Structure 1
């Protein structure tokens, strides 16, 4: 992803598409993206209604800067094809597919979208099973339409027979594998949800951990979590100021015919400036949406 293509995805909120009031409320929330969920948050007897409401929401809803993503049901269900056909008819910003485990899963979705004449809708893939994480590299390389990886830690913890811990040590290897794979193509990677939505301190700590690992943002299950995610995953005033100083120092050094610069006693090379430009671009993009 080039600096000019940067799009904030600090806070990506799951909303059950069967809940019309929730969909309406999402228009007023400060999240960067909304996932209209047809899968886990929707009971089997409400799948059709949720699908219809998601389509109507994409077609007629006013969501401003917020990206609009439809999470369809998994490829192992009887619903996913109808979900995909419905989604392709209104072309959301992306289709999120749960429990992606192989490159063929991604290719199946890409092929199905093409069959519907949809050339534009991005694919987002959820990695949430042991096999999915083990196949992370082939998954991210399966299609140019794959633009984002979303971590599903709840299913992973269940499949491992592990426990949710504050350090997330039981799943840290899987998170690292997904991160490495995503960065081979420089695509967005979003951390999994934090279940205890009333525990702001715990959420903040997990967001800080995810940011330190390199995640671009966090998926959320409740509007009360948006502010914390937005604050943590946005560059701080201090980070932006230092990035601007770094860029200025390096540009001056280049103008003087030098390949490196020195700032506050530290050597500045092109790789440092590249990261500084990303920080500045993120801050500008967030400012553009009123963040």
Structure 2
């Protein structure tokens, strides 16, 4: 998921060619105050053009209680982006207020994503995730979280591991997608690659990015490898054959396979098919 600043039309145009699954048209914190209105106009133009192909198009609006938040919602809701990303959500009440305003602006059919970027938001992740069936995804803002925790950024991300796990658990408990936070040191590719693989292994669905150069690393980490696809197929067929012969489990590649492994394998294949479709239509 690539953040693209609404203030830069060249970046907005270039994003139409990038191998990102999701483009986040960003009106939020990175935009200078005197560029807020122009950024909104640029994003409106991009939404009207519908030039991002099969990519998911999300708009991150400004804070609900900021001078721009409500007008952002009013401007983009009629243009029906795939989702609205609401920042600084810390409670069930916060997100329900945002959804109510989105509905008043004609966005009843628009999906919602929430940003988790503070200690309070992490502690309230369960109530936020369960607040509405309109919510489809939780997005970590790990840079903000590190600052508010008075923590330090390290390659092993030790300060974040508890928070990451709590948000993943909340998302999975309510059937939501969950996306890891950005990596702001653009030159430290070793740490970024490590963070991508760590996030994948923890259970994240993907990584949010701030620069196109990071796309290759994130795509490589989160795209299933051929061996994983073959193993998933073997798990599904192996247990099906075992069940047909009256056995409830089977051993595949020296590992005991049960029903939950088949569920995970089928999910992996669905993800891979979606990735293949997107790749073929970019």
Instruction: Pick the TM interval, shorter chain.
Output: over 0.9
**2:90 pairs with 1:101:** yes
**1:283 CA displacement:** 1.4
Q: Which residue of 2 aligns with 1:195?
A: 184
Query: Please, which of 254, 258, 266 is the counterpart of residue 269 of structure 1?
Result: 258
The 5 A counterparts of 1:168-207 are 168-207=157-196
**2:71 pairs with 1:85:** no
**2:275 pairs with 1:289:** no
CA distance in structure 1 between the aligned counterparts of 2:91 and 2:228, rounded to whole angstroms:
38
Q: Which residue of 2 aligns with 1:213?
A: 202
The 5 A counterparts of 1:125-274 are 125-274=114-263
Q: Is the 8 A contact 2:78 2:106 kept in 1?
A: no
Q: Which residue of 1 aligns with 2:43?
A: 54
**1:89 CA displacement:** 1.5
TM-score, normalised via structure 2 length? 0.96
CA distance in structure 2 between the aligned counterparts of 1:187 and 1:32, rounded to whole angstroms:
17
CA distance in structure 2 between the aligned counterparts of 1:267 and 1:161, rounded to whole angstroms:
44
**1:177 CA displacement:** 1.0
CA distance in structure 2 between the aligned counterparts of 1:29 and 1:18, rounded to whole angstroms:
18
CA RMSD in angstroms, aligned pairs only: 1.1
Q: Which residue of 1 aligns with 2:64?
A: 75
Q: Which residue of 2 aligns with 1:45?
A: 34
Q: State the number of aligned residues.
A: 280
| Higher RCO, Cα 8 Å, sep 6+ | 1
Unaligned runs of 5+ in 1: 1-11
TM-score, normalised via structure 1 length? 0.94
CA distance in structure 1 between the aligned counterparts of 2:49 and 2:192, rounded to whole angstroms:
33
- Per-residue deviation, residues 98-138 of structure 1 (Å, max 9, x unmatched): 11000011101111111122221111100001111110000
Q: Is the 8 A contact 2:25 2:59 kept in 1?
A: yes
CA distance in structure 2 between the aligned counterparts of 1:47 and 1:201, rounded to whole angstroms:
34
Q: Is the 8 A contact 2:55 2:278 kept in 1?
A: no
CA distance in structure 2 between the aligned counterparts of 1:61 and 1:117, rounded to whole angstroms:
19
**1:285 CA displacement:** 1.3
**1:235 CA displacement:** 0.8
Unaligned runs of 5+ in 2: none
Deviating 4+ runs (over 6 angstroms): none
Q: Which residue of 2 aligns with 1:29?
A: 18
Q: Which residue of 2 aligns with 1:110?
A: 99
**1:172 CA displacement:** 1.4
